[in-house]
Amino acid sequence: MNLQDIKNRLADISVDVEALIEVAGDSPSAEHQEQILALNKEAQELEAKHDEAKKFEKAKAEIVARRKLAAEAADAPAAGVQPSVSEDLHKENNKMAIPAKARYAKSRHFDNNEDAYEAGMFLAAIGGNKKAQDFMAAQSLTNAEGGFSVPQPLSDQLINLVEEYGHARQSCRRVVMGATTWQVPKISGHSVIYYPAEAAAITESDLTFSQITLTAKKMAGLVKMSSEISEDSILSMLDTVVEDLAWGFSKAEDDNLFTGGSIYTGGIEGDANVADTNVASVGALALTDLTAMVVASGQERGLNPKFYMNPTLWNGQVRDLLNAAGGNASADVAAGVQRSLFGYEVVLCNAVPGASSSTSNDLLAVFGDLGVSHYFGDRRQLSFKVLDQLFAVNDQVGVVCTSRIDIAAAAPEVLSKITIT
C-alpha cells in the first residue's frame, strides 16, 4: 500500500467503527465486539506503516533530486562561458548545508543529525534568526502563509519519547478514538459452566456487555527558550527541549493514572473497586503485605501482572526487607536485588508516591495487569507549534505541545494496591 492508500484505509476504518458502534447500541454482540477490536488493531498497524511510508517517500524524493542534479551537471558545456546557476540548483546545493561541528555532534534522541539540526534551525528561524530563516527557505519548509512548517522529525521524536517514558501509554490498553467521545464495549457478564446429568438439557447462559465511555481532554505544555541559538548548540538544545516536554507529558499521564487528576479523577489511588491492603506507614510495610497484594488481585488478574512502585520505595524499604529475609551472602548484597517479587516484574514509576507517603490513603504500590484494568484513549497525537510573539519582548520563543487523551477504568477489580491507613 502506498501512502495515500493507507490514509484512505484509515479513514474507512474510522467510518466502519462508528457505524458498528451505532448499530450495536448499548448491548453489542460478541461478533460486533470482535469486529471493533479487529478494526482497532488494523488501524494501529496502518499507523505504523504510515510512518514508514513517509520516511520512504522522503528518501525517494532525495534520490530523485540528486540524480536530476547529476544529469544537469553532465549536460553542462565543457568550455566557454559557464551558464548562471539557477535559483533551484542553488537551493539544492545548499540543502542540508550543516556546519561541521553540528554534523559530527551526536543527538541523543533524533535519528540523525540532519533532522535534529533542521528542527533546531526551525526554532531559531521562528525567533527571528536571519541565517536560520535563510536555511529554512533553502529546505523548502515554508508554509502557505509565508512562515515555516514544523519539521516532521520534531513532532515524531516528541511522540516517541512520551511513549518511551510513560507507563500509562506503555501498559494500559490503547484505543484510537474516532471522535471526542468514544465508547468501547466491555464484557460485564460471563458464561456460566454447569454440570448436567446424562442426557439432560444443558442450561444456557448469556454474555452481557456494558460500555466504557472515553471523553478526550486537552493537555498542553509551554516552555520558553532564547531565540539566540548558536549553530554549535542547536543539537543539544533540541535534545533538552524535546526531552523535557516528553518527560512532562508522560509524567502528567502517569500521575492521572495512579493518583488522579483532570483526566482521570481519583486515579487508582482513589478507586474503591481496587482491592486495598493498608499499612500504618512506609516503615511498617512487610513482605506479607506484598504477598497479600498478589492474593487480593484475584484469579482474573490478566496475562501480564506487574508490581508498580516508586524507586524510593523499591530501593529503600522493599530491598531492606529482601536483604533481611536471610540466605544472602555478601556477594548477593554487592550484586544487588533483581527487580522482581514472587516471580513478577517490578516496574519503577515516579508517579506512585512511594517512600515519601505519609498521609492517609497515600498510594504505596499497585499490582496487576493495567492492560486489562484500564483503557488509554488517544484522540489526537501530540501536536507541536512555536509562538514567536508571546515572549518577544524578552527575545524568547514559546514551544507549545498539546494532545487530547482520556484514561478510564474498565476492570479495576483485577488490580490491588497498598495505601497508608
Q: What confidence tens digit (pLDDT) does each residue in 48-65 have?
A: 888 888 887 788 778 877
Confidence band, pLDDT 50/70/90 cuts, at residue 76? low
Confidence band, pLDDT 50/70/90 cuts, at residue 153? low
Please state, in angstroms and as integers, the Cα–Cα distance from residue 51 to each residue in 4, 6, 47, 56, 345, following that order.
12, 10, 6, 9, 32
Domain ranges of the chain: 155-188+207-325+338-421
The reported pLDDT for the residue numbered 252 is 94
Q: What confidence tens digit (pLDDT) does each residue in 205-242 have?
A: 777 768 899 999 999 988 877 766 555 566 666 677 77
The reported pLDDT for the residue numbered 271 is 95
CA distance 118 to 133: 11
The reported pLDDT for the residue numbered 98 is 63
Please state, in angstroms and as integers, the Cα–Cα distance from residue 100 to each residue in 66, 96, 107, 212, following that order.
21, 12, 14, 54
Q: Stretch 90-101: mean pLDDT, rounded?
A: 51
Contacts of 160 (CB under 8 A, 6+ apart): 109
Q: Which of 400, 393, 379, 366 is closest to 167 using CA atoms?
A: 366
The reported pLDDT for the residue numbered 88 is 47
| Least confident window among 30-44, 84-98, 192-206, 281-295 | 84-98
The reported pLDDT for the residue numbered 79 is 47
CA distance 153 to 109: 10
Q: Stretch 352-359: mean pLDDT, rounded?
A: 77
The reported pLDDT for the residue numbered 264 is 95
Q: Stretch 77-82: mean pLDDT, rounded?
A: 48
Q: What angle do CA 33, 2, 145 make, to 5 degrees?
A: 100
Higher-confidence residue of 265 and 50: namely: 265
Grouping H, G, I as helix, E, B as strand and the rest as coil, residue 25 is coil
The reported pLDDT for the residue numbered 270 is 94
pLDDT at 392 > cutoff 50: yes
Place of cell 508490581: 307
Q: What is the DSSP letter of 357?
A: -
The reported pLDDT for the residue numbered 49 is 85
| Least confident window among 4-18, 138-152, 298-312, 374-388 | 138-152
The reported pLDDT for the residue numbered 108 is 66
Mean pLDDT of the chain: 78
| Least confident window among 128-142, 154-168, 269-283 | 128-142
| Least confident window among 9-23, 104-118, 206-220, 249-263 | 104-118
pLDDT at 418 > cutoff 90: yes
Segment of 98-107, 140-149, 351-360, 371-380 carrying the highest mean pLDDT: 371-380
The reported pLDDT for the residue numbered 145 is 47
- Percent of the chain's residues with pLDDT above 90: 27
The reported pLDDT for the residue numbered 84 is 47
Segment of 36-45, 153-162, 409-418 carrying the highest mean pLDDT: 409-418
CATH number of 155-188+207-325+338-421: 3.30.2400.10
Higher-confidence residue of 225 and 40: namely: 40
The reported pLDDT for the residue numbered 91 is 42
